[in-house]
Amino acid sequence: MAKNLNTYKDSLHLIADILSFDYPTETLKHQIVSEDIDWDALVVIASDHLILTTVFARLQQKNLLEYIPKELENYLEQLTAINTNRNQDLLIDIQTISDIFNKEHIDYTFLKGAAMLVSGYYEHLGERMLGDIDILVKHDHIQSAYQLLKDHGYIEKRSGLKSGFFEHKHLDRLAKEDGLCAIELHKYVLNKPVSDYLLSPSILKNKQFKERIPIPSNKDLFLHNILNFQINDEGHYYSKLGMRSAYDSIVLIHHHPELNQNYNEKVITSYMTLHSLLFDIFKTANFNLKKLKRFQSRLHSKSRNNVRKTLLSWNAYMRLIPSRLSTFLSNKNYRFAVYEDRRRIFKELKAKFLKG
């Protein structure tokens, strides 16, 4: 009799087993064939984590596509084909930007998904979904780099109030009218006040090259992948899982086993601890069993987890109020900008706190 495999936690575990380089393929095949899997739930979760194409690619690499529902296989195949074509075009964009910057002796390096794509780490070109093309640029060169892209047809995309009145890690986005995604030129890679976890001068100094395209060193790429999720995407604050980030981490460890070591930084050990629930490779000597047990209890109660997330969101906004209020009272231009942007602000607040 088929075992029922329908909980959120079960779906996460199955996705992790599909992505893993260590989980036995025969065991995974047995799970898929013999258990009653809620494939709709799996698709929703994988979509939320932007890894649907990764799931398809890993099933294909393990020769297991024939064991999933045919309709699902066709859907994932079409989606991955679209993403493959998109990534091919993005690689052309990356090469073009690199040529522009190299010609003008800009000191820079591609980051995150763009760097991973350039490195050729993925067995299938379409398995990684990319949002923006992120580029770290030396502080003294960033304005010149920004203008160079504008001179080559990229258009400035204002990023709301924050970019005009508060310091941010990257300049306003740039994009072509018919472009596939935006370009972000970074001054530093992590949000303040913790931006010194990974310093820009060090990343630029240690960069390596793939076909004359600069990317971070293996260790910096690995650490940035973790810290970007933990700090910029607030994974540490909310104690949440990031399957796309976790997959990039295990891909890097798969190619560079020396990266899988004990790290003392709390935000990194927290990441390793939570993701060890799904991937054994993250179990290290600094493993935090108490934190893991607390997280496991939340996985069993979606309503409890949602309440906790809402309370943390409110707390984060409350902490922002003093600085925003001070600027609002002292800066007439900011007051006017808030009024002009009020509809977007209310819409964002409603989506964050009143959804569902």
Calpha distance 353→237 (Å, rounded): 17
pLDDT at residue 9, rounded to an integer: 86
Which residue type occupies 23? Y
Kindly report, residue by residue over 58-93, the tens digit of the pLDDT: 999 999 999 999 999 999 999 999 999 999 999 999
Kindly report, residue by residue over 84-126, the tens digit of the pLDDT: 999 999 999 999 999 999 999 999 999 999 999 999 999 999 9
DSSP three-state, residue 160 = coil
Which residue type occupies 119? S
Spatial CA neighbour of 130 closest among 149, 110, 150 = 110
Would you say residue 3 has pLDDT above 60?
no
pLDDT at residue 1, rounded to an integer: 42
Would you say residue 300 has pLDDT above 60?
no
Write out the H or E segment, with its range, that includes residue 183: strand 183-186
Q: Which residues contact 250 (CB under 8 A, 6 or more apart)?
A: 19, 20, 21, 279, 281
Spatial CA neighbour of 273 closest among 262, 49, 42, 131 = 262
Would you say residue 144 has pLDDT above 70?
yes
Kindly report, residue by residue over 285-296, the tens digit of the pLDDT: 566 666 666 666
Provide the whole-model pTM: 0.84
Could you give the residue ranges of the DSSP H alpha helices within 37-123? 39-48, 52-61, 70-103, 112-119
Under 8 Å between Cβ of 274 and 245: no
Calculate Rg over the CA atoms of the chain.
22
Among left, alpha and beta (phi > 0; psi -120 to 50; other), residue 211 is left
Specify the higher pLDDT residue, 202 or 167.
202
pLDDT at residue 356, rounded to an integer: 44
Kindly report, residue by residue over 190-227, the tens digit of the pLDDT: 987 666 788 999 999 999 999 899 999 999 999 999 99
Would you say residue 182 has pLDDT above 80?
yes
Classify burial at 178, counting beta carbons within 10 Å of its beta carbon; exposed 0-12, middle 13-18, buried 19 or more. exposed
